[in-house]
Amino acid sequence: MSDVSSHDLIIFGAGLAGLRAAIEASRQSRGGLDIAVITKNQMMRAHSVAAEGGTAAVMRPDDGDSLELHAWDTVKGSDFLADQDVVDLFVRTMPGEILQLEHWGIPWTRREDGRIAQRPFGGHSYPRAVLASDKTGFFELQTLYDTLLKYNTVHHYNEHFVTSILIDQGAFAGLTVIDMTTGRFKFIRGKALLIASGGAGTLFGFTTYSQTVTGDGLALAYRAGIPLEDMEFLQFHPTGLVPSGILITEACRGEGGFLLNSRGERFMEKYAPQKMELAPRDLISRSEMIEIEQGRGCQGPNGLDYVYLDLTHLGADRINERLPLIREVCMEFNDLEPITDPIPIRPVAHYSMGGVETDINGATAVKGIWAAGEAACVSLHGANRLGSNSTGECLVWGKIAGAEAARYCQSVDALPAVPERLVEQEYNKVFGELLDRKGSENLYDIRRDLRSTMDQYVGVFRTGAGLEKALAAIRGLKQRYAHITIADKSHAYNTNLIHALEVANLLDLAEVMISGALARCESRGGHARRDYPQRDDENWHKHTLAWHTDQGPRLDYKPVTLTTWKPEERKY
Catalytic amino acids? Answer: 237, 253
How many residues are there in the chain?
Answer: 572
C-alpha–C-alpha distance, residues 210 and 227, integer Å: 25
C-alpha–C-alpha distance, residues 238 and 348, integer Å: 7
Give CA angle at 281 (529, 76), nearest 5°. 85
DSSP secondary structure letters along 46-110: SGGGG--S-EE----GGGT--HHHHHHHHHHHTTT-S-HHHHHHHHHHHHHHHHHHHHHT----B
Q: State the angle between helix axes of 464-481 and 495-519 in degrees (0 to 180), rounded to the nearest 10.
A: 150
Give CA angle at 214 (490, 53), nearest 5°. 135
C-alpha–C-alpha distance, residues 520 and 528, integer Å: 10
Q: Which residues 6+ apart lie within 8 Å of 295 measured at CB?
A: none
C-alpha–C-alpha distance, residues 392 and 128, integer Å: 12
Q: Please say whether the beta carbons of 202 and 209 come within 8 A.
A: yes
Q: Please say whether the beta carbons of 280 and 572 come within 8 A.
A: yes
Q: Phi/psi at 384 (nearest 5 deg)?
A: -160, 125
Amino acid at position 334, single letter = N
C-alpha–C-alpha distance, residues 93 and 394, integer Å: 12
Q: State the angle between helix axes of 136-148 and 390-411 in degrees (0 to 180), rounded to the nearest 10.
A: 20
Q: Which residues 6+ apart lie within 8 Å of 182 measured at CB?
A: 491, 492
Q: Please say whether the beta carbons of 154 and 146 come within 8 A.
A: no
CB-facing half-sphere around the CA of 314: CA atoms within 13 A: 25
**CA 554, chain centre distance (Å):** 23
SS3 (DSSP) at 256: coil
Distances (CA, A) of 409 to 34, 188, 263, 403: 10, 15, 61, 10
Long-range contacts of 271-276 (CB under 8 A, 24+ apart): 272/572, 274/571, 274/572, 275/122, 275/123, 275/572
